[in-house]
């Protein structure tokens, strides 16, 4: 209980300080997104929060308005769905900064499993659903353990491990690792979505080798 209170106090304090310090950058990005592509600068979408409760998730819009908002994540900066500055925002994780507001109002935490679509809950097994026992985070164990290089199943397992082992020390380590990763710009884009996708890919490659 005490850890939960301290975590919330840290969330509010850090989010408030960051919003104040980064306000010029937030304004600049807002104007850049608004003036370089058609549509609102802030992208809003319902995501699954603690205990699966939906909340409105905010981020800077990096994709064009005419694309499916529930489509697969871009796999490279060359994805035609990205706006002129969308690639740049994603590669430096600047598109995620509006979630500091989500943290301030209590929908999210600085550290926790990343908020996924509400519709995805039905795809998870009972162990994977344990990720919903805590608030989703701006960053998490999966994000500093491979991020886009991990499959969906690997990320879900790391989310559950975080829930099982969570604590202020772990949160601090994840935050430090996140800063290093953002500057390193590693594993930004999804390399493979799921294990089944990898298996299908391996089968196709094997069939191609057999026909060569």
- Indicate if the pLDDT at residue 135 is higher than 90: yes
Residue with the larger pLDDT of the pair 190 and 200 = 190
The rounded mean pLDDT for the chain is 89
Residue ranges per structural domain of the chain: 2-194
Write out pLDDT tens, residues 139-197.
Answer: 999 999 998 889 999 999 999 999 999 999 999 999 999 998 888 777 777 776 776 65
Cα(108)–Cα(18) distance, rounded to whole angstroms? 15
What percentage of the chain carries pLDDT values higher than 70?
Answer: 90
Residue with the larger pLDDT of the pair 203 and 108 = 108
Residue 72, pLDDT score: 85
Instruction: Name the residue among 55, 46, 10, 33 with its Cα closest to residue 167.
Output: 10
């Amino acid at each position: 209980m005490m850890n939960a209170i301290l975590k919330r106090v840290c969330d509010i304090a850090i989010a408030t300080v960051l919003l104040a310090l980064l306000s010029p950058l937030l304004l600049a990005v807002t104007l850049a997104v608004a003036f370089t592509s058609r549509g609102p600068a802030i992208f809003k979408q319902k995501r699954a929060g603690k205990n699966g409760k939906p909340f409105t998730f905010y981020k800077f819009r990096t994709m064009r308005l005419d694309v499916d908002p529930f489509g697969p994540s871009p796999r490279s900066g060359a994805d035609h769905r990205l706006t002129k500055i969308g690639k740049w925002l994603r590669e430096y994780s600047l598109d995620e900064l509006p979630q500091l507001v989500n943290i301030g109002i209590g929908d999210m935490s600085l550290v926790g499993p990343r908020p996924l679509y509400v519709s995805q809950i039905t795809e998870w097994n009972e162990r994977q659903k344990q990720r919903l026992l805590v608030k989703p985070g701006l960053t998490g164990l999966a994000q500093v353990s491979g991020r886009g290089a991990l499959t969906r199943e690997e990320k879900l397992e790391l989310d559950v491990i975080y829930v099982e082992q969570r604590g202020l020390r772990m949160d601090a380590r994840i935050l430090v690792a996140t800063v290093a990763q953002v500057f390193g710009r590693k594993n930004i884009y999804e390399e493979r979505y799921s294990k089944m996708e990898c298996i299908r890919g391996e089968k196709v490659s094997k069939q191609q080798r057999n026909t060569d």
